[in-house]
Structure formats: structure tokens, C-alpha cells
Amino acid sequence: MIVSSGKTLEVHVPRTASSEIPASLSLADANRRHILNVLQKSNWRLTGRGGAAEILRLKRTTLQSKMKKLSIRRPGK
């Protein structure tokens, strides 16, 4: 059911984080950005509770493989 107090329904769509990603971004670049974001949020912890692999729902070895393919390395190493 749609409820409106007037004759015209006004819809205000909230801005989402996905709207900040350029449409021209390749799938590989989008994956790279997402993995880097999760790694930064997990303080570059790959495994264990709260680790990037758990957050991404990947096996550790799969995450490591994706990182290698996307040339993702921990800063300072």
C-alpha cells in the first residue's frame, strides 16, 4: 500500500555508495576497490574472526589468489 497526504507522491531516493562508483569502472577495478576497502577495514587481517576472507566469504587461499591477480599488496611490504 502506498500512502500519500496529497495528490502527488513525492519520492526521495537516498544516495548510496554505489552511485559514487563511475559507470566506466571495469569489473576487475571494482573488485580491486572492494577487496582493498575490506582489507583496510580489517586492518589487513586476512584470516580469522573479522578477517577479510571471512567478511568477503572467501577461503583464505581464494582471497590470496585474487589479491595476487589484482596486484594487491599490503602497504610497506
pTM greater than 0.85: no
pLDDT digits (tens, 9 = 90+) for 3-46: 777 788 777 777 666 556 677 788 899 999 999 999 999 999 99
Query: What's the rounded mean pLDDT across residues 50-65?
Result: 96
In this model, does residue 71 exceed pLDDT 80? yes
Which three-class secondary structure string do you get for 14-62?
CCCHHHHCCCCCCHHHHHHHHHHHHHHHCCCCCCCCCCHHHHHCCCHHH
The residue ranges of every structural domain in the chain are: 28-69
In this model, does residue 59 exceed pLDDT 70? yes
Of the pLDDT bands very low, low, confident and very high (cuts 50, 70, 90), residue 77 is low
